[in-house]
A = this chain, B = another copy of it.
Amino acid sequence: MTQLEQARKGVITPAMQHVAQVEKMDPELLRGGVADGTIVVPLNNSHTKISPVGIGKGLSIKVNANFGTSGDQADLEEELLKLQAAIDAKADTIMDLSTGGDINGVRRAVMERSSVPVGTVPIYQAAVEAVQNRGGIIHMTPDLMFSGVEDHARDGVDFMTIHAGVTLAALERLRLQGRTTDIVSRGGAFLATWMLYHKKENPFYDSYDRLLSVAREHDITLSLGDGLRPGSLADATDRAQIQELLTLGELAQRAWDAGVQVIIEGPGHVPLDQVEAQVILQKKLCGGAPFYVLGPLVTDVAAGHDHIACAIGGAVAGMAGADFLCYVTPSEHLKLPSVEDVREGVIAARIAAHAADIARGHRGAIDRDKEMSKARKCLNWDRQISLAIDPQKAQAYRADSKPSSDDVCTMCGEFCAIKIVRDYFGS
Interface residues of A (CB under 8 A from B): 70-73, 99-100, 124, 127-128, 131, 137-138, 180-186, 188-190, 192-193, 196-197, 231-235, 269, 271-273, 298-305, 307-309, 311-312, 315-316, 319, 330-337, 347-348, 351-352, 354-356, 358-361, 366, 368-370, 372-374, 376-377, 384-385, 387-390, 393-394, 396-398, 400-404, 408-418, 420-421, 424-425, 427
Contact = CB atoms under 8 A, between A and B. Distances in A.
B388 A71 contact: no
27 contacts: A70-B412, A124-B415, A131-B414, A180-B377, A181-B418, A182-B425, A186-B412, A196-B425, A233-B366, A298-B315, A298-B359, A299-B369, A300-B373, A302-B351, A302-B390, A305-B348, A307-B308, A308-B311, A308-B348, A308-B351, A332-B411, A333-B409, A333-B411, A335-B397, A335-B400, A335-B409, A336-B410
Given A181-B373, A302-B389, A331-B411, 6 more contacts: A190-B420, A231-B418, A234-B370, A300-B376, A301-B372, A331-B401
Nearest to A375: B300
Contacts of A373: 180-181, 231-235, 269, 300
A405 to B, nearest CB: 8
A369 B401 contact: no
Nearest to A404: B72
B311 A312 contact: yes
The 9 A-B pairs at the shortest CB distance, nearest first, are namely A232-B373, A304-B393, A71-B413, A335-B401, A189-B417, A272-B359, A300-B369, A273-B359, A298-B355
A244 to B, nearest CB: 15
A72 B184 contact: no
A424 B347 CA distance: 38
Contacts of A358: 233, 271-273, 298-299
A299 B231 contact: no
Contacts of A361: 273
A326 to B, nearest CB: 14
